[in-house]
Structure 1
Amino acid sequence: MKTLSIASPLRLGQTWIKLAKKKAFARGSEIGLVLAAVLIGLAAGTAVSGMSFLSRSLHSLIFGITIDDWLSSSTIENQLVVLVAPIIGGILLGLVLYILARRRKRAIVDPIEANALYGGRISLTDSIIVAGQNLISNGFGASVGLEAGYTQLSAGLASKLGTKLNLRREDMRILVGCGAAGAIAAAFNAPLTGAFYAFELIIGTYSMVALAPVVVAAIIATFAARAFSGNSFIIEVGEIGVITPADYVPAIVLGAICAGVGILIMQGVAFVEELARKSSLPPYVRPALGGIVVGLLAMVTPQVLSAGHGALHLNLDSEAPAKILIGILLLKSLASAVSIGSGFRGGLFFASLFMGSLIGKIFGTPADFITTGTLTPTVLAVVGMSSLAVAIIGGPLTMTFLALEITADFPITALVLAAVITSSLVVRTTFGYSFATWRFHLRGESIRSAHDVGWIRNLTVEKLMRADVKCAKLGVPLAEFREAFPLGSAKRVILLDDQDRYAGLISLPDIYAEEAETARPRTQLADFVSHQNDFLLPQMNAKQAAEIFDHARAEALPVISNLIDRRVVGQLSEAHTLRRYSEELDRRRREAVGEV
């Protein structure tokens, strides 16, 4: 026993030393990040395969199809099941929401928000909850994809690993990008798509430091997912001949059309959500009502169910007339808006690809009048799916590489690039948001991308201010004030009223300059007061403080507790604020390019 009591602490100490060395290696080495990315890629590929298997198992169990069939392209004879399944899914999801509302008060953070505001920190528990909700929604037929669950769970696993390794803020953000890259790469068998999804949407920028780990995670996740599931997402476009300059005209027009449709879909989701809020129905009741609408639409055509993988291939291979395709597009758009707006958990990634392909095929008829005829409906469908996905999801290069990797056809990539740039430009200039950032806007958040702005919010006035301030009562006689504050004792003094609330600022040099003047002098402190309504609050960030300094044209301002009490708790100068802001900005820049 005595030997054990001595050896156990020794072994424990050795374990901690090894763990510390691993953490130091990961923090101080790009190779360490790459090795972490390998683990994240394996986890992401496994997570995607597992969720996909569970979803298709639910489809098989509930709707009576084989596990190898896609729900949205299946013929389901029992129409009662088609109607009831989304309703039951809504009820189950409502129960989950009811339990969560009673036990968890904080909002769930997604990867974009985590990288923008929280330095890449995501709760793994919350991520598992999101993945579970996504599975319920998709598994029971709601018109949402699994990509949101894939990305959330993979990013949550990556953030957990980064937390265990005690990584720096910028490295944490990169690992979250690795998780998202692995998830999208595994979902589409498209490592380049996954990598650029991470750069454009999750990390918010491209850097050499992030390149190796993100690409490695995407490749490993693709291999892992194919090892588990074996299937891949491929579109055959056939021979399209030589692309001429004239062919770019319909592609650009199609990109602009998809931008308009994307904006309408995003506003449609917001409209349904607003309608649900105004109805005063509890959030846990709304999914069941949304399930009724989805079920009724699915009775018209099962192509509105789930994400739409099968329906996309079905329509690419069919010669359906334009009016049928328009009907499917309208039904799918409505089903997706109702599903998301009523509270079903999921995303519009694949739904936007499916709807975009429909727009492309519908556009094929008028396109014949403005093209040489070399652009087949399938080619236009690929251009349309990429363009609508850019309008809703964002990421022009992401969707361009997706088109390249799922068609393995390079000539149409240039057409896709022209269309997605047009779509992205139209959306940014007329609407300004992607689907994710639009929902942040509706919640009151100001972020428009995953660019790291969290450090700005953390650099608050409370952290920057000085607490030792010189104060005086407003009613003190001028002579007494001069005696209490001789020239050179301070630059400025904060005045308080009879109830110790902030009343204004006095510049001490002005007091003594007035004393030397022979002209009509001012005789009381109130004559010298300035900036009575200019002040800072502790929770303001450095950027907001700088804007107030500029507006007030003040070198320093007091910090008050709140707008009601107006108790002075400190003082902050413009020079110190700008210096600290510049130092942090430079440090973040150096972190992003790997200089620190």
Structure 2
Amino acid sequence: MVKRVHAAVLAAMDLPRQWLFRMVERFRIGPQLFLVLLATAIGALTGLGAVAFLLLIRLFKSFFFGVLYSAMAPAPYLIFLLPALGGLLIGPLIHFFPREAKGDGVPAAMETIALGGGIIKPRTVALRTITAAITIGSGGSVGREAPIAQIGAAVGSMVGQLLRVSGERMRNLVGCGAAGGIAAVFNAPMGGVFFALEVLLGDFSAQTFPLIVIASVAAVSVSRAILGNVLIFSVPTFVLESFPQIIFCGILGAACGAIAQLFIRSLDATENKFSSSKIPVWLRAAVGGGLTGIIAIGFPQVLGTDDIALDQAIHGALPWMLLLAIGFLKIAATSFSLGSGGSGGVLGPSLFIGGTIGALAGTAANALFPNVAGSVGGYTLIGMAAFLAPMVGAPLTAILILFEISGNYEIILPLLVAVINAMLISGAISRFSLYTRHLHKKGVDLVRGREEGVLKTLMVRDVMKKEVLTIPSSASFRQLSARFLEEHVDYFYLNDSEGALIGVVSFRDIRPYLMEEGLWDLVRVKDLATSNPVSVTPGESLFDVLIKFGYKNVAVLPVIDDPHSRKLIGIIHRREVLEAYQRRIMSSIREE
């Protein structure tokens, strides 16, 4: 039955694909124009999806804060019940669909693009959209950007699946959708472009960049047409008046880099604590929401994405003690909301926390050096970018989002200084951003590229062969050449009396002697062999093995049990490394 339904779905998908290709042929649309049209369509659909998601958040927010909270007017301290109730509503979804429904969806999208060929299931997006809308609408301390980015990525993925595009083209289409989502939520087209390039794709190629720009602009155009061209914040003009301001921004960046790592570890520790607790899975989000709500009794600014408080911080309207309190309490509230299983992103909370740190630094600078410090609002914006960059590992994205928000060229230099310092300090503490740390815990390392991430999850023991052909070191050249003809291999290995690897002889090594028949019984294998050959151990990753293959330019490497005993236990072929990589990619696609 399931197979018949699946076949029927595939047949139904063939009809629009065939019609589209007929239209392309009829109007003689070239491949480049076809890609431009695809990127535009994906961007426009993503813009509509972003608008729909934002309206869904407003619907839940009006229910929780317009209906329920209004009924609590005589007892405002009951506000803690709202995020707890939101967590209770999404609890069953988290229980039955833990992978799809909870947490920040960006790491999952990164893994899908890197290992799963960009295939995103509609069910994943639907579940995460609902859980995120409820979490945010009920006051959970999470951001809107991750679900919207995943909606866009799903649009790109579905278009790619419909057209049956190649793996690389699929990645580009998914990137187009994700860029459109981020651009729409922040009203920042170039910020969305670089989020897709830096975070999701890790690819700045000339083939990728134009399509993502087109999709991003299309998404923003659609969202502006429906919601209006409204800036998130009312930004005061920042004027760079003195060199000490650059120094202050450098110090601010360093502080943001250190606190960003604190935030990452807080999120990680909270998630581990909830995962290992005896609290039922369906109840954890409610507990985390309740803890967030308890903080909100005294500091309601930590709920949701409080743009009003951040706007007040930009204009220097909040006292330093309140800035200090809500900045660090926002770290705790977001850790509770996301760590317990609530759904949403970290970009919004990161901007809030960075903004409060920046406003605090600006307030302090103005109190100590009133003549040279500059406006508090400028430090607030710079703090937002300096905190966001190490959190998501995307300095260009952070710079461009804040530049598009401010529209002020004079902010660029102090912004660069702060972001660079933040990345340096954060990198000195840990090489992982929040997203790459999450994937690293699962054994997927994308810090240096998706291929490396895949190969580092595979070990030599997974693909090695235990059948090894050896030959005594005392054997003659005649015996060796006969063995090569008999076994049809390129390498024989030499062991000592204890089975330790002491050498290797290749077919290439015997070529100089093939015409010297008089030496065939005089030359011994040990005279031809390469001593102490490069070897690998079962616990090494295939990434490290591939480096050794490239270094020695050989097709086969011996496998030894450990570097001390060097007991020969198997061999590994270069082609098997590549085949294992391909199998892992295909396996990830099938799982999706």
CA–CA separation in structure 2 for the residues paired with 1:290 and 1:17? 49
Q: CA deviation at 1:488?
A: 3.8
Q: Do the aligned residues in 1 keep the contact of 2:301 with 2:309 (CA within 8 Å)? A: yes
Q: How does 1:98-117 map to 2 (within 5 A)?
A: 98-100=95-97, 110-117=108-115
Q: How does 1:387-398 map to 2 (within 5 A)?
A: 387-398=386-397
Q: How does 1:121-520 map to 2 (within 5 A)?
A: 121-230=119-228, 232-317=230-315, 319-368=317-366, 369=368, 372-373=371-372, 375-448=374-447, 451=450, 453=452, 486=483, 488-489=485-486, 490-492=489-491, 507=505, 516=521
Matched with 1:91 is 88
Query: 2:55 is aligned with what amino acid?
Result: F
Q: CA deviation at 1:263?
A: 0.7
Matched with 1:7 is none
Q: CA deviation at 1:331?
A: 1.6
Three-state SS of the structure 2 residue aligned to 1:206 is coil
Q: CA deviation at 1:158?
A: 0.6
Q: Spell out, residue by residue over 1:348-387, the C-alpha distance to the aligned partner (whole angstroms, 9 max, x if none).
A: 1011111111111111233234674351111111111111
Q: CA deviation at 1:245?
A: 2.8
Q: CA deviation at 1:111?
A: 2.5
Q: Indicate how the Cα distance of structure 1 residues 450 and 144 shifts in structure 2: closer, same or farther if over 3 A, else same.
A: farther
Q: Spell out, residue by residue over 1:228-263, the C-alpha distance to the aligned partner (whole angstroms, 9 max, x if none).
A: 222623433434445333321111111111111111
Q: Do the aligned residues in 1 keep the contact of 2:471 with 2:493 (CA within 8 Å)? A: no
CA–CA separation in structure 2 for the residues paired with 1:267 and 1:381? 23
Query: 1:572 is aligned with what amino acid?
Result: H
Q: Indicate how the Cα distance of structure 1 residues 212 and 385 shifts in structure 2: closer, same or farther if over 3 A, else same.
A: same
Q: Do the aligned residues in 2 keep the contact of 1:180 with 1:198 (CA within 8 Å)? A: yes
Q: Indicate how the Cα distance of structure 1 residues 222 and 557 shifts in structure 2: closer, same or farther if over 3 A, else same.
A: same
Q: CA deviation at 1:455?
A: 7.4
Three-state SS of the structure 1 residue aligned to 2:97 is helix
Query: 1:380 is aligned with what amino acid?
Result: Y
Of residues 37-46 and 22-31 in structure 1, the stretch that sits farther from structure 2 once superposed is: 22-31
Matched with 2:47 is 45
Q: How does 1:25-40 map to 2 (within 5 A)?
A: 29-40=31-42
Q: CA deviation at 1:271?
A: 1.2
Q: Do the aligned residues in 1 keep the contact of 2:556 with 2:571 (CA within 8 Å)? A: no
Q: CA deviation at 1:418?
A: 1.9
Q: Do the aligned residues in 1 keep the contact of 2:191 with 2:400 (CA within 8 Å)? A: yes
Q: CA deviation at 1:151?
A: 0.5
Asked whether 1:556 is paired with 2:556, we answer yes
Query: 2:297 is aligned with what amino acid?
Result: M
CA–CA separation in structure 2 for the residues paired with 1:487 and 1:394? 53
Q: CA deviation at 1:95?
A: 0.8
CA–CA separation in structure 2 for the residues paired with 1:425 and 1:451? 23
CA–CA separation in structure 2 for the residues paired with 1:518 and 1:437? 56
CA–CA separation in structure 2 for the residues paired with 1:508 and 1:377? 71
Q: Spell out, residue by residue over 1:97-140, the C-alpha distance to the aligned partner (whole angstroms, 9 max, x if none).
A: 12225999xx9873222232233232232122222221121122
Q: Do the aligned residues in 2 keep the contact of 1:124 with 1:153 (CA within 8 Å)? A: no
CA–CA separation in structure 2 for the residues paired with 1:321 and 1:495? 76
Q: Indicate how the Cα distance of structure 1 residues 54 and 471 shifts in structure 2: closer, same or farther if over 3 A, else same.
A: closer
Matched with 1:54 is 56
Q: CA deviation at 1:413?
A: 2.6
Q: Indicate how the Cα distance of structure 1 residues 149 and 547 shifts in structure 2: closer, same or farther if over 3 A, else same.
A: same
Of residues 41-50 and 302-311 in structure 1, the stretch that sits farther from structure 2 once superposed is: 302-311
Q: Do the aligned residues in 2 keep the contact of 1:27 with 1:167 (CA within 8 Å)? A: no
Of residues 236-245 and 321-330 in structure 1, the stretch that sits farther from structure 2 once superposed is: 236-245
Q: Percent identity?
A: 27
The number of aligned residues is 540
Q: Do the aligned residues in 2 keep the contact of 1:48 with 1:186 (CA within 8 Å)? A: yes
CA–CA separation in structure 1 for the residues paired with 2:308 and 2:456? 44
Gaps of 5+ in 2: 1-12, 514-518, 561-568, 583-592
Q: Spell out, residue by residue over 1:259-283, the C-alpha distance to the aligned partner (whole angstroms, 9 max, x if none).
A: 1111111111111122223324343
Q: Do the aligned residues in 1 keep the contact of 2:141 with 2:292 (CA within 8 Å)? A: yes
CA–CA separation in structure 2 for the residues paired with 1:38 and 1:295? 41
Q: Indicate how the Cα distance of structure 1 residues 550 and 318 shifts in structure 2: closer, same or farther if over 3 A, else same.
A: closer
CA–CA separation in structure 1 for the residues paired with 2:376 and 2:228? 29
Matched with 1:590 is none
Q: Spell out, residue by residue over 1:538-564, the C-alpha distance to the aligned partner (whole angstroms, 9 max, x if none).
A: x974x343356589998624799xxxx
Q: Do the aligned residues in 1 keep the contact of 2:143 with 2:349 (CA within 8 Å)? A: yes
Q: Do the aligned residues in 1 keep the contact of 2:87 with 2:289 (CA within 8 Å)? A: yes
Q: CA deviation at 1:89?
A: 1.4
Give the TM-score taking structure 2 as reference length: 0.77
**Cα RMSD for the two superposed structures:** 4.7
Of residues 119-128 and 207-216 in structure 1, the stretch that sits farther from structure 2 once superposed is: 119-128
Q: CA deviation at 1:174?
A: 1.5
Q: CA deviation at 1:309?
A: 2.2
Query: 1:35 is aligned with what amino acid?
Result: L
Three-state SS of the structure 1 residue aligned to 2:217 is helix
CA–CA separation in structure 2 for the residues paired with 1:281 and 1:53? 33
Three-state SS of the structure 1 residue aligned to 2:573 is strand
Q: CA deviation at 1:517?
A: 5.4
Q: CA deviation at 1:327?
A: 1.3
Three-state SS of the structure 2 residue aligned to 1:64 is helix
CA–CA separation in structure 2 for the residues paired with 1:293 and 1:51? 26
Q: Indicate how the Cα distance of structure 1 residues 504 and 553 shifts in structure 2: closer, same or farther if over 3 A, else same.
A: farther
Matched with 2:10 is none
Q: Do the aligned residues in 2 keep the contact of 1:138 with 1:306 (CA within 8 Å)? A: yes
Of residues 257-266 and 307-316 in structure 1, the stretch that sits farther from structure 2 once superposed is: 307-316
Three-state SS of the structure 1 residue aligned to 2:169 is helix
Q: Do the aligned residues in 2 keep the contact of 1:309 with 1:350 (CA within 8 Å)? A: no
Three-state SS of the structure 2 residue aligned to 1:284 is helix
Query: 1:125 is aligned with what amino acid?
Result: R
Q: Do the aligned residues in 2 keep the contact of 1:241 with 1:374 (CA within 8 Å)? A: no
Q: Indicate how the Cα distance of structure 1 residues 328 and 276 shifts in structure 2: closer, same or farther if over 3 A, else same.
A: same
Q: Do the aligned residues in 2 keep the contact of 1:185 with 1:195 (CA within 8 Å)? A: yes
Query: 1:545 is aligned with what amino acid?
Result: V
Three-state SS of the structure 1 residue aligned to 2:204 is coil
Matched with 2:573 is 572
Three-state SS of the structure 1 residue aligned to 2:374 is coil
Gaps of 5+ in 1: 1-11, 497-501, 523-527, 561-567, 585-596
Q: Indicate how the Cα distance of structure 1 residues 485 and 207 shifts in structure 2: closer, same or farther if over 3 A, else same.
A: same
Matched with 1:546 is 546
